[in-house]
Structure 1
């Protein structure tokens, strides 16, 4: 995300040399709120059908025509939309048409703190437009604009995300099978073992009966779905290395970071792929941006004499944050002599959960420096060839 625009007017003006447009997207219709030069401060509202790009571009042409009639000048169009289910396809279409487009994080826009506040698409469209105006004027921290990934970058990270989805589905089926058998007094059945079919046929309830036929049939169908998931997980786990290697054949910047991460003891191919596809493919200006992107930045509460920490913000990429917490525990096991592990051990056993989050933040910054600048983590062991 970009907290501040790179350029813009320093003073607030009512006559702005552009046509500002906010897009409120939904499944049925799109609400377009615009503010044009020469029209005073009145915001006009129009609606087009969802997905009607031709109608949207025709509406933009009408905005330009009316502004030219009022002022005798031609103005560019600047649009803004929220991140959501529509993704970035409309943003790419607008950029291809030569329209300046922005995608904003809706959680970064200030909202009234009343107990009950009105919320409609009309009000949201006006709030988006005001945020865009302030952003282009150069007001700091008025909102956070999202850096849209390229189609290749967006598609590359689907493998890691699909793997996580499949693992969650596998856990659901395993727990369902265990729950069905637990109701019969059976607690030692492991659905993920290779001999699961044979062990299921030999099972008896706690009161000595054979498993009921309908229960056996239901568990067999659950095992069918579980085996399908296990096979899909194996195929998905085998793909990241090949895909990233093919990508790196044309872009050394895409293959070298993955190889560098995989060379560190405690980081496997899956973790290296997730770290690269979810975080390190982006450009960050400093370590604070790295921690904030993963949601591991601190959120202090300091007002007058009140000073305390609220914990990490969690306002970032949840997948990257989860992987870093897991990697922090693995780091203690595989890199016990590193400076980061010694820092964790020096804190003792008190409040280990909070300390592991701090270690995850430090480790993320250290890996970012290692990948981008080649700064080797102090005391870290590199795998042998």
Structure 2
């Protein structure tokens, strides 16, 4: 058995092969478009060495490579880039050295593994993240329209209702601003059509899901302020909740756990780590605001946190973290939300 470390880039890959004693046996550099050469090299290596294990960092473009080598290797491991700091912090960094370090850690069975989403979860994430991009486009257009009208002291609260859009077409603007506003209105209509289309696609995707996935959505929606969009984000970004050992680990995965620094017996809590999905964190914060508005008990907790920290933002992030732990508990125990149960 030999161990193959792979430093994967957009156009090229560097491979380093080591044995159990971590002696370098071979190095290879290939282009990503040469898939047949990659397969031939690994098949020959497997034949010569009676088995191979492969490790590659979980970068944005790893999936095609993993699918390519899975039928060849005895084991394919995704390395967690952030946890494998020895590469990130190296002063002598190169593709060859990165591949070698990966191979050596694999030989020592010390690779910090990254989670690999299932094919369905990847599809779900694709749709959910596309919806977010479309929604951000709509928000950007609306903000631009309001900014233009504010120059004329003509912005109104109901601008994007049917009556408001009629008002927008009739408000007196200079020729350049009128041209821009008309263009933005066309873009807004198009973006709203895209949003309706992706919502239909997400609805059809949800109907094709398993019974457990459907039940997970229903459990999440039992929480006040958690609707279809929030449940879609949580289900797609977190996947199977059973893979988390406890609520602390799911909060850390979402980047909502505060960092800590300890020295000489003294511990200091730092800001939240902000690792993982930004979309998940932002969605949980929005859901936290809704929960605070709808639930007197959660509002009371928020007010106490705000008084203690002196900041609304810190308080609502703490509520978002608690909300996530409640979601975790609901999905673990298979129980709906109880209004007076607060983690």
Pairwise TM-score range, normalised by the shorter structure: 0.7 to 0.9
Q: List per-residue Cα deviations over 1:346-385 (Å, max 9, x = no partner).
A: 445342332322222222111111122134555349xxxx
Listed as ranges, the gaps of 5+ residues in structure 2 are none
Q: How far is 1:263 from its partner? A: 2.8
Q: Does 1:334 align with 2:297?
A: no
- TM-superposed CA distance for 1:154, in Å, is 0.8
Which of 217, 226, 241 is matched with 1:267 structurally? 226
The 3 A distance-change label for structure 1 pair 105 and 113 is: closer
Q: Is the 8 A contact 2:87 2:93 kept in 1?
A: no
Number of the residue aligned with 2:100: 126
Q: Please give the secondary structure, in 2, of the residue aligned with 1:106.
A: coil
Deviations 1:310-335 (A, max 9, x none): 12211222222221111112111222
Residue of structure 2 in register with 1:218 after alignment: 180
1:348, 1:196 → 2: CA distance? 37
Cα deviation for residue 166 of structure 1 reads 0.7
SS of residue in 2 equivalent to 1:307: strand
Mapped to 1, the partners of 2:306 and 2:32 lie a distance apart of 57
The CA distance in 2 between the partners of 1:37 and 1:232, in whole Å, is: 54
Residue of structure 1 in register with 2:262 after alignment: 302
Q: Does 1:344 align with 2:307?
A: no
Pick one of 12, 15, 20 that aligns with 1:32: 15
Q: 1:287 to 1:280 in 2, by over 3 A?
A: same
Aligned to 2:280: 320
Distance 1:105 1:287, change over 3 A: same
Q: Distance in 1 between matches of 2:316 and 2:105?
A: 37
1:64 aligns with 2:46: yes
* 1:158 alignment partner, one of 108, 111, 126: 126
Q: Name which of structure 1's ranges 188-197 and 49-58 shifts more when overlaid on structure 2.
A: 188-197
User: Deviation of residue 175 (structure 1)?
Assistant: 3.0
- 2:219·2:337 contact (CA, 8 Å) conserved in 1? no
Q: Is the 8 A contact 2:3 2:19 kept in 1?
A: yes
| Structure 1 unpaired stretches of 5+ | 1-17, 68-73, 205-209
Compared CA separation, residues 112 and 166, structure 1 to 2 (3 A): closer
- Give, in whole Å, the separation in 2 of the partners of 1:128 and 1:288: 29
Per-residue displacement from partner, 1:92-119 (whole Å, max 9, x unpaired)? 23223454111112111123797x9343
Q: Secondary structure at the match of 2:86?
A: coil
1:256: which partner in 2?
215
2:56 aligned partner: 81
The corresponding residue for 2:5 is: 22
Question: 1:378, 1:293 → 2: CA distance?
Answer: 25
Q: Are 1:19 and 1:34, in contact at CA under 8 Å, matched by a contact in 2? A: yes
Q: Counterparts in 2 of 1:126-205, with a 5 A limit? A: 126-134=100-108, 136=109, 139=110, 143-182=111-150, 184-188=151-155, 192-195=160-163, 198-204=166-172
Aligned to 1:12: none
Change (3 A) 1:287 1:100: same
Q: Distance in 1 between matches of 2:189 and 2:174?
A: 21
**Cα separation, partners in 2 of 1:46 and 1:191, compared to 1, 3 Å:** farther
* Alpha-carbon distance, 1:186 to partner: 4.3
Mapped partners of 2:164, 2:139: distance in 1: 16
Shift in alpha-carbon separation, 1:326–1:220, aligned structure 2, 3 A: same
Aligned residues: 337
Matches of 1:99 and 1:341, distance apart in 2 = 53
User: TM-score, with normalisation over the residues of structure 1?
Assistant: 0.78
Aligned-pair CA distance for 1:171: 2.2
Q: Classify 1:191/1:93 alpha carbon distance in 2 versus 1 (closer, same or farther; 3 Å).
A: farther
Flag the structure with higher helix content: 2
Highest CA radius of gyration, 1 or 2?
1
Whole-Å Cα distance in 2 between the matches of residues 117 and 180 of structure 1?
50
| Alpha-carbon contact 1:22-1:79 (below 8 Å) kept | yes
Q: 1:347 to 1:37 in 2, by over 3 A?
A: closer
Residue 202 (structure 2) pairs with residue 227 (structure 1): no
Take 2:40 and 2:272, find their aligned partners in 1: how far apart are those partners? 45
- Distance in 2 separating the partners of 1:65 and 1:92: 20
* CA offsets 1:62-83 (integer angstroms, 9 cap, x no match): 323444xxxxxx2x21111112
